[in-house]
């Protein structure tokens, strides 16, 4: 596969970047997220993390169901601060 293909659109990471992190010895999605920022953008990993999970599964010779997902945290989609607080902004 073309290693220049974009995996994480928010943080502009390619398949090569992900493979490089895996080759450094990072074995979980959470670690790859922390070291590359993959999944830290506005989409919060909805596009990229399943792709990274598949890549990790392949590299570790495991089934994708054995790769633990990252912790889900609120909000589920970007929300304006004022929507949450209800405070009037000046």
Considering the rule CB under 8 A, would residue 30 count as an interface residue with another protein? yes
Maximum CA extent, the chain: 55
**DSSP code of 14?**
E
Q: Please, what is the minimum distance in Å from the beta carbon of residue 70 to another protein?
A: 10
Considering the rule CB under 8 A, would residue 14 count as an interface residue with another protein? no
Considering the rule CB under 8 A, would residue 68 count as an interface residue with another protein? no
Considering the rule CB under 8 A, would residue 61 count as an interface residue with another protein? no
Q: Is the backbone peptide bond immediately before 57 cis, with ω within 30 degrees of 0?
A: no
Residue 17's H or E segment, with its range, is helix 15-23
Closer residue to another protein, CB minimum distance, 11 or 55:
11
Cα distance between residue 87 and residue 82, in whole Å: 6
What residues line the site for another protein (CB under 8 A)? 26-28, 30-31, 34-35, 37, 40-42, 44, 71, 73-75, 78-82, 84-85, 87-90
């Amino acid at each position: 596969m073309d290693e220049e293909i974009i995996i994480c659109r928010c943080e502009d990471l390619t398949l090569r970047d992900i493979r490089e992190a895996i080759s450094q010895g990072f074995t979980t999605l959470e670690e790859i997220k922390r070291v590359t920022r993959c999944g830290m953008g506005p989409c919060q990993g909805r596009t990229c993390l399943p792709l990274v999970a598949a890549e990790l599964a392949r590299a570790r010779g495991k089934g994708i169901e054995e790769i633990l997902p990252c912790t889900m945290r609120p909000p589920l989609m970007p929300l304006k601060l004022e929507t949450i607080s209800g405070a009037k902004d000046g």
